[in-house]
Amino acid sequence: MSTFDIREVVGGSADHDAVLCLADDVLAQRRYVVANIPTADDSHILGAFDADGCAGFVRYYVQVIGAEEGRPPIVLRALPLREGFVEAFGVAPRARRSGIGTALQEAVRARCRDIGCYQVRSRSPVGCVENYAPKIVSGYGVHPSGEDDSYFFVKTL
């Protein structure tokens, strides 16, 4: 298992450039890393860095559940329920099966739990079967997306 460090990535930094390079050149996910999400209250990028540079990343944002669908909020104890939504996630091919992907997903769950999110949700295309097992093993529920060829994964916190 490789040694790596997971840290918050700030726009305009060398770490941000490294994440964009991996997202752009290797994983074809740049558009998801830089997308503007109008319903997001907050947005974060976490990067996993090892001796060879950026080995993986996750971009997630925080929103009221159902906001992107135009649904009224579900309110519990006078507060709308919020979620962390994983918009982009990837691990460099050279670093796969080293625990980086699992560690990035765990970091998102921990951060979302710390700020009071009710759940973490993500969507994976049908062709990205390598993303399924870690989520299922971590206790995510699965639901087919009605809008495209993908699955939603949801984990209550």
pLDDT of residue 42: 95
Q: Name the band, by pLDDT with cuts 50, 70 and 90, for residue 122.
A: very high
Percent residues over pLDDT 90 in the chain: 79
CA–CA separation, 124 vs 154, rounded Å?
A: 11
Residue 10 sits at the vertex; the CA angle it makes with 9 and 11, to the nearest 5 degrees, is 120
CA–CA separation, 111 vs 96, rounded Å?
A: 23
Provide the number of structural domains found in the chain.
1
What tokens were used for 105? 């997903």
Q: Name the band, by pLDDT with cuts 50, 70 and 90, for residue 26.
A: confident
The string of pLDDT tens digits covering residues 73-101 is 999 999 999 999 999 999 999 999 899 99
Residue 31: give its domain's CATH number. 3.40.630.30
Q: Range of 31's domain?
A: 5-156
Q: Name the band, by pLDDT with cuts 50, 70 and 90, for residue 106.
A: very high
Please check the confidence at residue 135 and state whether its pLDDT lies above 60.
yes
